[in-house]
Amino acid sequence: MKYVGIAFFCILFLIPLALTFTGTTVSDVIQVLSEPYFLSILRFTISQAVVSTAVSLIIGLPGAWIMSHCSFRGKRFVRAIYSVSFVLPSILVVLGFVIFYGNSGYLNSILMKLFNLQEPPLKILYSFKAVVLAHAFYNFPIIVTVIGSYWLGMGRSVEESAAVCGASPVRVFLTIVLPRLVPAIAAACVLVFLYCFNSFSIILVLGGGPAFTTAEVEIYRQARVNFNTKAACALSIVTLAVVLIVLLLQLRLEKKVEHDQTPDYKHIKQTKPNFAAKLYIVLSVLFIALPILAIFIRALFANTSRGSEKLVFSLRSYEALFKNPSALINSFISAFGASVLGTLLSISICSYLVRKDKSIFNILVMLPMAVSSVIIGLSYFLLSRFLSFTGPLAMLTLAHCVIVLPFSVRTILPAWRAIPSSVIEESTITGASRLQTMLRVELPMLKRSILASLAFGFAISVGELNSVMLIGISDFTTIPLQIYRLVGSYNYQGACALGTVLIVLCFFAFLYR
């Protein structure tokens, strides 16, 4: 049984990926790197990721200090709100930004009424500012979590010694605290950079034009619009090389963070937040919560007529969901299938990895996390040409299974390794075979982790847009894809109605997890 998961991993991920790049030669890659058009796209992809990472750091660093130094009522609630933006599908982030921060969004409407303005004062959508702001919204909780956790465990014995010697608070921070935080800051920034570099739906919707095209969007455009799969594959190889280099850097930084976390039993004393900290908490919570709340509100209001900006209370978009539930059905089937199949394969893979700690497969099985879902979608789009009997729903389910698999393994494997060896030895002494021990002893003890894997996989799959954009056809849709189409046709009530369904599904999946 332990080899079943390995075999299916090769069939579902390694073979499609290899087939995708089989016809791509070195000259194709060189041609992509030599063309000014593709070079400008790569430069913009890297530059927007760098700027987005810097803005995320600027927004998140004060939050890391507050969450590590301050104790206040509702801290768990604030931490939960910070995690909301990261667990939501990116298409919901886009939808929330359009509804709340758009030219006709709630924020501009409020400001125009308050100050009696004729034009919206904040015009940020379909611009570089919108891309950076959305990325910051999506990723600054990573900065808060990674740096805040490291900062909390750092202790402050060295800081207090420097203060006793007469060093000012600013000097203590610049000469002692900041250098000690550098490994954690670098590790968090590299992780944010990877997410921004592989961003797809945020760029696709909020970029608003060719000037803001990134490599992921161009891969989609070349494959699905221009049908130039050779250029799409060559560009995929380039982006994959960049991601792997950055990922290796991330792994080295994580090890450095672990080694530099020297024991210091004089932990940071929690204090009450001052006015500036309270203001940051309020503004950051509103920054996250208001766009999500705007989705729920806008779903209840429809335009009185086409082209009219006047809104009236209406439930017609929810009624339309039940009249044409194809998006809901497709999303539910593919997400359920991907989560179940991914968890079953993860159990098989973990049964092998739990006894082969130094196996190279331990690294290979995590590769889908390094390969963007756009490239995985491209692999299955090209594969569908040879498997004409396979429909888009089946291809999507398999693609989502590949995307879900590393997260399922990371959920189940640590729990499996935590099972005491004495429990397994007692079972084998009684005469039980290896398979019987696993079925009757180990798997029951892994029940919570398996359920968490199912919930986590369902939430990831149901909100995945990137791969379905590559695989899907005109008469096939899912919840994220339908939201994207409705936003493009300015049917915001319909998009928000579907958005609320997606939020509820993700919320219950992560809550159950």
pLDDT single digits (tens) 51-110: 999 999 999 999 999 998 888 988 888 988 887 777 788 899 889 988 998 888 899 989
Task: Report pLDDT digits (tens) over 336-345.
Answer: 999 999 999 9
Amino acid letter at 35?
E
Q: Which of 205, 129, 170 is nearest to 487 (CA)?
A: 205
Domain assignment present for 506: yes
In a domain, 406, yes or no: yes
Mean per-residue pLDDT for 220-245?
90
CATH of the domain at 339: 1.10.3720.10
**Within a domain: 337:** yes
Spatial separation of the C-alpha atoms in residues 10 and 355, rounded to whole Å: 20
Nearest to 8 by CA among 421, 382, 381, 348: 348
Flag whether 287 is in a domain. no
Q: Is 308 left (phi over 0), alpha (psi -120 to 50) or beta?
A: beta
Instruction: Please give the pLDDT value at position 436.
Output: 78
- Structural domains in the chain (count): 1
459-471: pLDDT as tens digits: 899 999 988 888 8
Q: Kindly report, residue by residue over 239-297, the tens digit of the pLDDT.
A: 999 988 887 777 676 666 555 555 454 555 678 899 999 999 999 999 999 999 999 99
The predicted structure's pLDDT at residue 224: 87
Q: Is the residue at 311 inside a domain?
A: yes
Identify whether the C-beta of residue 498 lies closer than 8 Å to the C-beta of residue 482. Answer: yes
Q: Residue 393: inside a domain, yes or no?
A: yes
pTM, full prediction: 0.86
Res 166: pLDDT: 75
Q: What are phi and psi of 389, to 5 degrees?
A: -80, -10
Whether 395 is in a domain gets the answer yes
Does residue 463 lie within any of the structural domains? Answer: yes
- Mean residue pLDDT of the chain comes to 85
Q: How big is the CA angle at 322 (ends 318 and 327), to the nearest 5 degrees?
A: 95
Domain that holds residue 347: 1-21+299-513
